Homo-oligomer: A and B are copies of this chain.
Amino acid sequence: MAEQLEFNSKNFLNHISLDCVIFGFHNNELKVLMLHLKHTKEYTLPGGFLKIDETLEQAAQRILKERTGLGQIFLKQFKVFSDPERSKDNKAIKDATESGFPPDMDFFSKRFITIGFYALVDFSKVKPTPDLFSDKCEWMTPNAEVPMLLDHKAIISDALAVLRVQLNQQPIGLKLLPKKFTMPQLQKLYETILGRELDRRNFQRKILSYKILNKLEERKTGGAYKAPFYYEFDLKRYQQALQDGLKGSW
């Protein structure tokens, strides 16, 4: 916060913003990290603006670090939202004002296009951190029926759709799960993203056929019923396999 810059066109490019859909996986459910605005009570995606000397990816990493404490996060641009009407009636402005941080209206009142990023993080490593305008930073289910800022609901839904399509091209399991995980966990992740159930035995056969997993000796104890084995990703093989795109469809 020490070097918090003012949001104005000296420090940031006009008209351009970023919004990040940060996915995590917990209790066998896909989650999205969101902020809750103090006054207008709307939920918003972590987002921000582009400094005059940084790339969009750098800006996204900067924003993600502030909300999660993590660096080097896996992220991908997935769509630019450019409807001229989308940034009209931005309640965040009102909220900032009421929070005691009246924004530079010459910057804020302009039309914005926003570049949508999705990020994949290890849920257990994130320390959700609100910003100056929000009273909460918390994990939500992607289709939560709560009021959201501007078009953020559509942004989340588009991110999910992209995630589904890119399941075989991106290291989605690797980035969303902890280092050690069980086969049922991995399966639930796939099922959640795909939105349908998979046969347990066929799933295992197929995912093992990619040869991107190492089976560990250790079993996951403490849970209910029979203890499943832990697996970890074989980084080199995973990277290699993604090059071609994992064959077959789900």
Contacts and interface: CB of A to CB of B under 8 A. Distances in A.
Interface stretch (A34-42, A49-57, A130-138, A229-237): A49-57
Most chain B Cβ neighbours within 10 Å, of A15, A52, A56, A77:
A15
A71 interface: no
A136 B113 CA distance: 32
Interface in A182-227: none
A111 B77 contact: no
A165 B111 contact: no
B249 A247 contact: yes
B77 A16 contact: no
Contacts of A245: 165, 249
Interface of A: 13-16, 50, 52-57, 77, 79-80, 82-84, 111, 113, 115, 165, 169, 245, 247-249
A83 B14 CA distance: 16
B55 A82 contact: yes
A114 to B, nearest CB: 11
A116 B216 CA distance: 44
A115 B249 contact: no
Given A16-B15, A113-B50, A56 B84 contact: no
B57 A82 contact: yes
A13 B13 contact: no
Contact of A82 (B14, B50, B82, B113): B50
12 contacts: A13-B111, A14-B14, A15-B16, A16-B16, A50-B82, A55-B82, A55-B84, A56-B82, A56-B113, A57-B82, A165-B169, A165-B245
A244 to B, nearest CB: 9
A167 to B, nearest CB: 10
A246 to B, nearest CB: 8
A53 B83 CA distance: 9
Contacts of A15: 13-16
Contacts of A14: 13-15
A174 to B, nearest CB: 19
Most chain B Cβ neighbours within 10 Å, of A55, A77, A79, A115:
A55
Contacts of A165: 169, 245
A4 to B, nearest CB: 21
